[in-house]
Chain A
Amino acid sequence: MRLPLLALLTRGPAHGYELKQDLEKLLGAAYPQPNVGQIYVTLGRLEKSGLIEGEDVEQSGRPNKRTYRLTDAGREAVLAWFEDTAEEPRVRDEFFMKLALAPQSGMADPITLINRQRRQYLNTMRDLSKLAASEDRDNKISQLLIEGAMLHLQADLDWLERCQEELE
């Protein structure tokens, strides 16, 4: 959550609740939203490490609210984040390990493992389709997030098919 928050603060100072709402609006309901507590904790840490600076703003009849702005070090961190390419997602290594070790242990049948795993992926795929249908069609970012998850899952399913072909 650190870098998305920093990236939002490049637009100008904001307080924690604002940042939460902006994230929600941007990513849509598809993305599991951090709760406001998590956001405050993260902001606290970012402040401690000098990437942002907080300032209390008085509000009439209400407790002060703390507004944060990006420091130069924070701006550098965001730049470096955009510079860097993201790591590739990895093959689900836990399932891979089960598959590799099933024949060794003699305690599970690889094909049964594959079938069970496929059922789970297919059900997840179904949930994602439903989510895509229920989510705002015009929220491109959110739709793309779901589509990305579906394509990853499709690749996982293709790989299971390859495993089954080879191990059957």
Chain B
Amino acid sequence: MSDDAAGGAPAAPGPTPAPEPAPAPAPIVRAEGLTKTHHGEGAPVHAVRGVDLTVRPGEFVAVTGPSGAGKSTLLHLIGGLQRPDGGKLWIGGQRVDTFREARWAVLRRRSIGVVFQFFNLVSNLTVADNVELPALLAGASPKAARDSRAELLAELGLEGRERAMPGELSGGEQQRVALARALVNHPALLLADEPAGSLDSKGTREVLRLLSRFHQRGQTIVMVTHDARMASAADRVISFFDGRIADDAQLGGGRREKPGGVSRVLDLKE
């Protein structure tokens, strides 16, 4: 099989025959018994210990948990940036845990955008080049890459900063460029590791607004965060402890309102 669209996660589903009920779309991510042990110096670290996970198209999933719980490792496994020691993984219905690096690279270019926890941008390329590069690598024409870049930077409030070098941007601006870079190929899946990592409350809100906006347009997102405010923007929050999913909670719908609702926490003392 060539490196064609079949290797990618599903983009917009094609037209379905009218009479039959549309089958449930394949999950974007399906993991079964995923494990990963790091062998650094000292004792081996069991970073991910048997994770079962399904993410459906259009879902916005947050992963929270203490430092060292294995959140980044999990995200890296899903994005093929690290290989599992055990378990199975499907992206867009396709079994990928057996993929070699070359096929992963193609899959990532076409279908997975990644915002890393650290070091997202190429420091000696301009903002514009940072965003255009992944598009060019994926085979876009220079003009198409330029157009997508311009559109995204405008959307992220970074017009006029195209010629800047990453070092000349604030932390928040750098994170937004990283987001643009991850989204430039319209990936079916966005993986974001602490996308507002070291930002203050205002910067966090900006990144969050952008993610919510993309989510509303149907972008599937898996985001690692320490920030409960960010997590609560997701539809679903996974609590990760010690390499395992300790809880997987759907937010919003179907909740019995406590009397007083949200005003309880806003109540000033008598």
Give A residues with C-beta under 8 Å from B.
1, 30-32, 87, 111, 115, 118-129, 131, 145-147, 149-150, 152-154, 157-158, 161-162, 164-165, 168
Contact of B201 with A by CB under 8 A = yes
Give the chain A neighbours of B19 by CB distance below 8 A: none
Closest 9 pairs (CB-CB, A-B) = A125-B232, A32-B263, A127-B262, A126-B232, A115-B247, A157-B228, A119-B249, A149-B265, A154-B228
CA distance A25 to B233 in the complex (A): 28
Query: How far apart are the CA atoms of A145 and B246 in the complex, in Å?
Result: 32
- Considering residues A124, A126, A162, which has the most beta carbons from chain B within 10 angstroms of its beta carbon? A126
Any chain A CB within 8 A of the CB of B92?
Answer: no
**A124-B262 contact in complex given A147-B201, A150-B229, A165-B241, C-beta closer than 8 Å:** yes
Across-interface contacts of A119 in B (CB, < 8 A): 247, 249, 251
Of the A-B pairs whose beta carbons lie under 8 Å apart in the complex, a sample of 26, sorted by A's number, is A31-B266, A32-B260, A32-B266, A115-B247, A118-B239, A118-B247, A118-B249, A120-B258, A121-B228, A122-B232, A123-B232, A123-B252, A123-B255, A126-B252, A127-B262, A128-B262, A128-B265, A146-B266, A149-B266, A154-B227, A154-B228, A154-B229, A164-B241, A164-B246, A165-B241, A168-B241
B231 within 8 A of A: yes
Residue B66 at the chain A interface, CB threshold 8 Å: yes
* Further contacts, 15 of them, CB under 8 A, given A122-B251, A123-B255, A131-B262: A32-B267, A115-B247, A119-B249, A120-B258, A121-B228, A125-B228, A126-B232, A128-B232, A145-B266, A152-B265, A154-B229, A161-B64, A165-B241, A168-B241, A168-B242
Of A126, A153, A161, the contact of B66 (CB 8 Å cutoff): A161
Q: Which of B69-83 contact A (CB under 8 A)?
A: none
Residues of B within 8 A of A (CB): 64-66, 201, 227-229, 231-233, 237, 239, 241-242, 246-247, 249, 251-252, 255, 258, 260-263, 265-270
Determine the chain B residues whose CB is within 8 A of the CB of A164 once the complex forms: 239, 241, 246
Partner of A129, one of B232, B241, B270: B232
Point out the residues of chain A lying under 8 angstroms from B261, CB to CB: 127
Chain B residue with Cβ nearest A120: B258
- Per the bound structure, the CA–CA distance linking A55 and B256 in Å amounts to 47
Instruction: Report whether over half of chain B's contact residues are helix, strand or loop; otherwise say mixed.
Output: loop
Contacts of B251 in A (CB 8 A): 119, 122-123, 126
Q: Is the CB of B246 within 8 A of A168?
A: yes
Decide if the interface of chain A is mainly helix, strand, loop or mixed: helix
Chain A residues with Cβ under 8 A from B241's Cβ?
Answer: 164-165, 168
Determine if A122 and B246 form an interchain contact, defined as CB atoms under 8 angstroms apart: no
Q: Write out the residue numbers on chain B whose beta carbons fall within 8 Å of the beta carbon of A149.
A: 265-266
Residues on B with C-beta less than 8 A from A118 are 239, 247, 249
- Cα A128 to Cα B233 with chains together (Å): 10
